[in-house]
Chains A and B, each alone.
Chain A
Amino acid sequence: MTRKPQAFVLDSGKDEPKLKTAGTRTRIAFEPEPPQQELAVVPPSSASARPRGMGWGALLISALMALVSLWAGLAITRLVEDFFARSPTLGWLVLAVAALAGLAAGAIIIREIWGLLRLNKIEGLQEQAARAINMDEQQSARNVEQGLITLYGGRKDLAWPMKEFRSLSGDIIDPKDRILLADRLLMEPLDEAAHRIIARRARRVTLLTTVTPAAALDILFVASQNLGLLREIAALYGGRPSTLATFKLARMVVTHLAVTGGLALSDSLIQHLVGKGLLGRLSARFGEGAVNGILTSRIGLAAMDVCRPIPGRSPAREALGKLLREVVSFGPKDKDNEPREPQPGNTAEP
């Protein structure tokens, strides 16, 4: 059946507009307006970056890798044969050692894959949780609930909140409320722990930068401390930070910092104040240390955003207040109370 083009005249009085053709069974249903609430935002992931095609370079590297592993296989086979030629006992011994090495290599590969899968899973949970919060969607909320239970079910530090969370699964609770409940019960203790980790690492970076004699050395320190920080935070939120997963995570964090770079202004202002300003006057090294410490805490906050299975609903960004607080609370202790917000970093180049 073809449908002719047609128009429906709306009767817009003080009521919601209705169709003017009263009496007939034609009805109009307006799409609900988007609710006025703060939406949960999923941190942009590396997956959303433009996918790179399979280039010649990648082909070259893969081919070279294949050659190397073939060569290694050949070399090991030869080695084992040589030893068998000399004495069977030695041959068996070498074979056993080679098998052990193979087993370890296999385990490492499985662990890497496992770690990457975990990261993907957390990303998926974030997306579903955001949908549950923003659109009040029942199915997503249930999926997130299941996901959280598999993720944290065996954790000793979360045993108590987990028990409480599980006990609520039979209640009739709206999807959005269910996710916010999970956020309060499960995420908050983890957030506190994450803040402590970030504060510790940031202080360490400051101290190390201040006391290192050579400028080249502190780059090394800062890099290793930050990688360590990423791994610690990922592990805290249930990730499996293997080598590849950590690199992927680092890329996601950098992307996140780049995308949320809207506050670069306040960032440079802090640097100005801290680095070249007051602290810088006192001691140039300490000024640099402070800047590095702030950078580290930024990276930590971004890592939290990326690793947290439930996206944090960041409050309105009070740029100036936060800036000042950050400068003041740079001392020991206070980092714990710092609001968790994505922060841009000055080295954020994807």
Chain B
Amino acid sequence: MNLNDILDGTRLAAGGLRDFASGLVSPTLRLGVTGLSRSGKTVFITAFVHALLKQARLPVFEAHARGRISRCYLEPQPDDDLPRFSYERHVETLTDMDRQWPEGTRRISQLRLTIEYEPQGLIARNLHGGKLHIDIVDYPGEWLLDLPLMSQTYAQWSAATVSASRTAPRASHAGEWHGFLSTMKGDAPADEQHVLRAAELFTAYLARCRADDVALSTLPPGRFLMPGDLAGSPMLSFAPLDITPGHEPAAGSLAALMARRYDAYVAKVVKPFFFGHFARLDRQIVLVDVLSALNAGPAAVNDLRSALTGVMDSFRIGANSLVSNVLGRRIERVLFAATKADLLHHASHDRLEAILRVLVDEAVRKAEFSGATHDVTALSAIRATREATVTRGKEQLPCITGIPQAGQEIGTTSFDGETEAAIFPGDLPTEPGEALDGALEGQLKFVRFRPPLLKDVTFPHIRLDRAVEFLIGDRFT
């Protein structure tokens, strides 16, 4: 245990103590919406808040279905240094004339939802009178990829990144960067222009790997892809070098400069982000966009799996004890959710869940081992499709219908974003392992749909109520 670990531990404990004290009078639940970029965090948060504010149909959410929730409203968020999650703007994007999904998140934001309910327990009745604050943080999913960096040195990260970039399908997109990489010697004296050029090419390579047809996930550092307000900062000008994991840089060398910037990045960007927003979560939902990865092929699915494993390693999951209640809570409930389940007929949801189970198996096992409650589900926070069965001759195809987004195509048909279509996306494998080993090549195609029209001022959804019940249902005592 070095000084850094002790410092981190103290930070955790201090934050935990503060939460415990304020939680006594006004109970607060920190809901961690975790997910890589494009997994649907913003849509989930918007739908979650919208459903509670507008009293949507949530039959499985018990406190709500029993009519014990009297009022829900938004309050100013507790942290003054964070922007507010622009809920209203997202709802408007989703519901205005040309209904679009919200754009990718570029910066961190926060929202506080307060729920008033009829308390049943003695403490709830007398101490805080049945009020629960739910704090939710939205952030670019790319940043999540940085969490594994906290436990890696520059040399380890460098070696891992470079060796990964030499395997297919990454190698075919890394040509230019590899060319430049071979000219850089770790022991050569540091040269700023060299470093900048390397960072630029490295960033271009990461961006290429993220494009829709490749759809890889393990692409740290996250701020390279989504710099937020750090664009152009020297902390972002470094890149991996071709060195061994145990490499010791000489003072003043190129490798030493890179390592210094990497360390600064971890200490000044990654750690504050983690300790500020993730270290004190109570509940967590891990959103995984399995379908997009399946669209892109087995390499993307495998990469998604390793990215999730790395990210989930950073969280403190486990049942809470007396001590951990006061000094830094653990995440006691984790819901793994395969998002965009509306792109599939519900008969296939079981198979989707099975694939997700394989993708997050390590995290699931960790949760099981540490005593946290966990569940795996397929959900769609905003359901953009309806279901239908197409009969052709003797064949029956379970389809979904909706308005595909402009530019989407399937087979030879492409869509203009206005016409409605019934889509049969292919059969998911009965054996989830097949999703990882390439046996499915070309058999699946999931098309993106435009957001649905509002139904009695609420969004239709699939199992959002179940997710809500699992995540916060037990707090309404």
Contact = CB atoms under 8 A, between A and B. Distances in A.
Interface of A: 15-16, 27, 29, 168, 171-174, 177, 180-181, 184
Given A27-B431, A29-B433, A174 B463 contact: yes
Nearest to A16: B361
A172 B60 contact: no
Prevailing SS type, chain A contact patch: loop
B10 to A, nearest CB: 30
B62 interface: yes
Interface in B45-80: 57, 59-60, 62, 65-66
Given A172-B462, A172-B463, A174-B466, A181 B431 contact: no
24 contacts: A16-B361, A16-B365, A27-B431, A27-B433, A29-B431, A29-B433, A168-B59, A171-B57, A171-B59, A172-B349, A172-B463, A173-B59, A173-B60, A173-B463, A173-B466, A174-B377, A174-B463, A174-B466, A177-B60, A177-B466, A180-B60, A181-B59, A181-B60, A184-B65
Contacts of B346: 172
A172 B463 CA distance: 7
Nearest to A36: B368
Contacts of B349: 172
B362 interface: yes
Interface in B394-436: 431, 433
Given A172-B346, A174-B463, A181-B60, 19 more contacts: A15-B362, A16-B365, A27-B431, A27-B433, A29-B433, A168-B59, A171-B57, A171-B59, A172-B349, A172-B463, A173-B59, A173-B60, A173-B466, A174-B377, A174-B466, A177-B60, A177-B466, A184-B65, A184-B66
Nearest to B309: A15
Centre residue among A16, A174, A177, A184 by max chain B CB count within 10 A: A174
B57 to A, nearest CB: 8
Nearest to A14: B362
Nearest to B373: A36
Contacts of B66: 184
Contacts of A174: 377, 463, 466
**What 4 A-B pairs come out closest when comparing CB atoms?**
A172-B346, A177-B60, A172-B462, A27-B433
Contacts of A171: 57, 59
A177 B431 CA distance: 25
Contacts of A27: 431, 433, 437
Nearest to A29: B431
A15 B366 CA distance: 11
Interface of B: 57, 59-60, 62, 65-66, 346, 349, 361-362, 365, 377, 431, 433, 437, 462-463, 466
Contacts of A29: 431, 433
Nearest to A170: B387
B62 A184 contact: yes
Contacts of B431: 27, 29
Contacts of B57: 171
Contacts of B361: 16
B381 to A, nearest CB: 13
B153 to A, nearest CB: 22
A6 B65 CA distance: 55
A286 to B, nearest CB: 34
A15 B361 CA distance: 9
A264 to B, nearest CB: 34
Contacts of A15: 362
A180 B62 CA distance: 10
Nearest to B65: A184
Nearest to A188: B66
Contacts of B62: 184
A22 to B, nearest CB: 11
Nearest to B377: A174
A235 to B, nearest CB: 27
Nearest to B62: A184
A177 B473 CA distance: 14
A27 B60 CA distance: 37
A181 B59 CA distance: 7
A15 B360 CA distance: 12
A293 B431 CA distance: 57
A169 B437 CA distance: 38
Nearest to A33: B368
A162 B132 CA distance: 31
Nearest to A171: B59
A181 B361 CA distance: 29
Nearest to A35: B375
Contacts of B365: 16
A205 B271 CA distance: 70
B375 to A, nearest CB: 10
A181 B66 CA distance: 11
A172 B386 CA distance: 11
A16 B359 CA distance: 12
A173 B466 CA distance: 8
Contacts of A177: 60, 466
Nearest to A136: B350
A184 B60 CA distance: 10
Most buried by A among B346, B377, B437: B346
Q: Which of A15, A29, A172, A177 has the most chain B CB atoms inside 10 A of its CB?
A: A172
Nearest to B354: A32
B150 to A, nearest CB: 21
A214 B433 CA distance: 75
A235 B338 CA distance: 45
A177 B57 CA distance: 15
A180 B59 CA distance: 11
B305 to A, nearest CB: 11
B330 to A, nearest CB: 19
Contacts of B463: 172-174
A319 B38 CA distance: 52
A16 B433 CA distance: 12
A51 B431 CA distance: 42
A172 B462 CA distance: 6
A181 B463 CA distance: 13
Nearest to A15: B362
